[in-house]
Amino acid sequence: MRIFVKIFLFAAACHGAFAAGTADSGNSATAKDFVERGASFYARGDYAAAKELFRQVKLDGSQTSGIAAYLLGSIYANEGSPDAFKMLEYAAAHAPDGMDVAAGVQCAKISLINGKPEIAKTSLEKFANANPADAQVAWYYSQSLWELGEKSQAKRFFESALKKDFGEISAIGVDIFIDAKISGDEFAESIDISGLRGDSAVAVSRLEMLSCKKITPKQSELSLLGQIEKIDQNLRGGAGDFDVAALEESLKKYSSAPYSWRAALILSEYYTSKKEYEKGAVFAKNAQLLAPPEIEYQGRLLIAEGDALRLMKKYAAADSAYLKVVMNRRAKGEIAAEATYKVGINWFEQGDWAKAHVYFERVFVLYFHFEYWGARAYYYDARALFSLGERRDANATLIEYFRRAKDRKSEIYKEARKFYNSI
C-alpha cells in the first residue's frame, strides 16, 4: 500500500467552495487567502511554502479549513509525518464533496500501511455504504475487510463494484486493482474476473492488461493506467512517440491514482528529451509528491529533476537534487551509482575537475558492476585528471578501465580508447 495525493490547480475548486461557503467562520476571508495562496504554491510544486500557508488556517469546522487540512495532510503523508492522519481525518469530515472521499481514502491507506485495518474500515465505512459502486472506495474498504479476516464479504463487495465500474474510463479503483493484480497482491489474486466483459475500448484494454497482453485500443480511449502501460510497451519496443496531450489531460483528471507518478515521470523525461527543461523539472517535482516516499521511487524522480536542472545550467539546484539520493543511506544499487555519477558530471560541466574526480572515483570503486555508469565514470575521470595536469593518473585510470571492461563494443569504450590514444 502506498500514499498518494491529488495534484489539482485547486484555486478554481476553492472559489466554488468559498462562493457557497456561507457556513465559514467570520475570518474566512483570511483563511480563503491562505488556502488560495497555498494552493498556488502546491500546484507549482513548492510544497514547503504551501505547507506554511496551510498551517495558518484555523480548523474551525468550515469547508475552507477542510480544504487546507486535505492539502496539508497530503503533504504530511508523503513526508511520512505522523500528523498526516489527523489532518486527513479532519478533511474527511469537513472538506467539500469529493475531497472528503479522497481524504477518507488516504486515511484508509495510512491505516493499512500501519497494520490497522480496523481504522481503515472505519475511515471508509460511511463512503462505502453511501456509494458501494465506487471502485476506489470499494478497493480499500474491501482490503480492510480482507485484513480483518472477513474475506468472503471483502470479495463480494469489491467484485460487485468491479463489475459495475469495469468499463468506466474514470474508475481509478479498477485500475488500482489491475495494478495490484499484476504485482501479485494476495487480495487482488482472489478476485473472480471470469464475468468481466470487453464491451468498450477501455474494458478491452483492461482485460488485455489482466492477461498481460499488448494493449491494442487507441490511446485516447484508454484509462490513465492503460496509457502508461501502452507507452511502456512502445518504449520497450523502440517507439518513443505517444499522445502527450492525452497523457497530460488524464494525469490532471486522475492524479489521485497510485500509479500517476509514473505518468508524471514519463512527461518529465519526454519534455527534458525535447529540451523543454522547465517543464521537465516541474513534472519531476510534481511526481515526487505523487510517488511513494520510498527512496527507490523518489530516487528516480530526484535524478529526473536534477537532469532537467543541470541541462538548464542550474547546477546548484541540480546538485541538491542528486545529493538527496547520494546522501540517503537507503539508496542502494544502480540508483545510487547513477546519482553519484550525476553529481560528478554536474561538477565536470562546471569545470571543477577536482570535485568531479571525487565522485567519478567513487562510482567505479563502489559500483563498477553497473558497467554503464562505471564505464562513464572511468572515462570522465580520466578527462578530469588530464585537465588537472595529472596525465599519468589519467592514463592509469583508462588502462584500469580497459582491463575491467566487459563491453568493449560500446560507444563509451570507443571514446575512451580514442582519448587514450590522443594523450
Q: Is residue 270 part of a domain?
A: yes
Q: What is the pLDDT of residue 78?
A: 78
Structure confidence by residue, pLDDT tens digits, 51-68 = 999 999 999 999 999 999
Residues contacting 86, CB < 8 A, separation 6+: 73
Structure confidence by residue, pLDDT tens digits, 319-367 = 999 999 999 999 999 999 999 999 999 999 999 999 999 999 999 999 9
Give the domain-ending residue among 331, 355, 375: 331
Q: Does the pLDDT at position 308 exceed 90?
A: yes
DSSP of 355-421: HHHHHHHHHHHH-TTSHHHHHHHHHHHHHHHHHTT-HHHHHHHHHHHHHH-S--SSHHHHHHHHHHH
Give the domain-ending residue among 331, 362, 378: 331
Burial class (CB in 10 A: 0-12, 13-18, 19+), 262: buried
Q: Is residue 20 part of a domain?
A: yes
Structure confidence by residue, pLDDT tens digits, 141-186 = 999 999 999 999 999 999 999 999 999 999 999 999 999 999 999 9
Give the domain-ending residue among 267, 302, 331: 331
Cβ proximity of 54 and 35 under 8 Å: yes
Q: What is the pLDDT of residue 188?
A: 97
Q: Is residue 205 part of a domain?
A: yes
> Do 180 and 276 have their domain in common?
no
Which of 393, 340, 388 is CA-nearest to residue 364? 340
Cell numbers found for residue 282: 516541474
Q: Does the pLDDT at position 20 exceed 60?
A: no
Q: Which residue has the higher pLDDT, 34 or 235?
A: 34
Cell numbers found for residue 229: 502501460
DSSP of 129-191: HH-TT-HHHHHHHHHHHHHTT-HHHHHHHHHHHHHHHTT-TT-HHHHHHHHHHHTT-HHHHHS
| Average confidence score pLDDT of the chain | 90
What average pLDDT does range 2-25 have in this prediction? 39
pLDDT band at 128 (very low <50, low <70, confident <90, very high): very high
Cβ proximity of 315 and 346 under 8 Å: yes
Q: What is the pLDDT of residue 145?
A: 97
> Do 173 and 126 have their domain in common?
no
> Do 167 and 123 have their domain in common?
no
What average pLDDT does range 83-96 have in this prediction? 95
> Do 159 and 244 have their domain in common?
yes
Domain span at residue 219 reads 148-250
Q: What is the pLDDT of residue 24?
A: 45
- Domains contained in the chain, number: 4
Distance between CA 111 and CA 100 in Å, rounded? 17
pLDDT band at 29 (very low <50, low <70, confident <90, very high): low
DSSP of 58-79: --SS-HHHHHHHHHHHHHHHHH
8-state DSSP, 57: S
Q: Is residue 142 part of a domain?
A: no
pLDDT band at 45 (very low <50, low <70, confident <90, very high): confident
pLDDT band at 295 (very low <50, low <70, confident <90, very high): confident
